[in-house]
Amino acid sequence: MDIDYGGKVALVTGASKGIGKAIAASLAARGAAVMLSSRKQEALEAAAEEIGGTTAVFAANAGDPDAARACVEATVERFGGIDILVNNAATNPYAGRSIDIDLPRYDKTLEVNLRGPLVWSHHAWHASMKDRPGGSIVNIASIGAFSAASGIGIYNMTKAGLIHQTRLLANELAPTVRVNAVAPGLVKTDMARALWEPNEAAIGSRTPLGRIGEPQDIANAVLFLASDLASWITGEVIVVDGGSTLRGGG
């Protein structure tokens, strides 16, 4: 399938590495003008240089509402509007039983993973998307949203909330903007390194499709959902996990 994003403007959070970088690169390679955002300016500049195409960068903490507004405004000023918003940025500062988490790390997780996507969507909608029919918001959730497993339960809880938030916004912003989510399984990113690096071969062998995910696997799903090929899809979640949930993964 030939997906052409020529004339479209995309804003991707958490875009300096991993899944976000793969998404930004895939959109730019198909003609979109892409604003890359994450916390660190140098990492953003390196990513944009590698990606090429029509790109710009704006350093912003995804959990900071003022930074979100400033990035959205900079995108509109630079490229004339926003057609695609990918809420990819996330954090997981705590591992352990949910009952034992301290409030600062609890608040930070919700601030970035759940409140953040709503804030970025709010600013993108009011600054541009409400006046540009055919737009798309894609939220990056997780298959952990479907599990009550301990260890990273608060992170998973925010992703479950993000899926419901996706459905709420899909209903509220239709028909102008479609809102969908992608729920990745275990993907080879720096954020998940502690989960996959020590046991990559063993984990891959337990997955029906025989391997751990790559950032491009998630980017491919985003490319579809944000495109006109998905023009009658909104409020949905695509699970991209190599089939791991078929065997109780999550």
Tokens of 139: 């939220």
Amino acid at the residue 40? K
Q: Which residue has the tokens 């995804």?
A: 62
Structure tokens at 159: 């992703």
Least Cα distance to 25 among 228, 241, 218 occurs for 218
Q: What are phi and psi of 41, to 5 degrees?
A: -60, -45
How long is the chain? 250
CB atoms within 10 A of CB 210: 10
Catalytic residue check, 155: yes
Neighbours of 126 (CB within 10 A): 12
Which is catalytic among the residues 5, 94, 106, 155?
155
Distance CA 4, CA 60 (A): 28
Neighbours of 1 (CB within 10 A): 6
Tell me the three state secondary structure of residue 142. Answer: coil
- For 66, residues 6+ apart whose C-beta sits below 8 A from its C-beta are none
Active site residues: 155
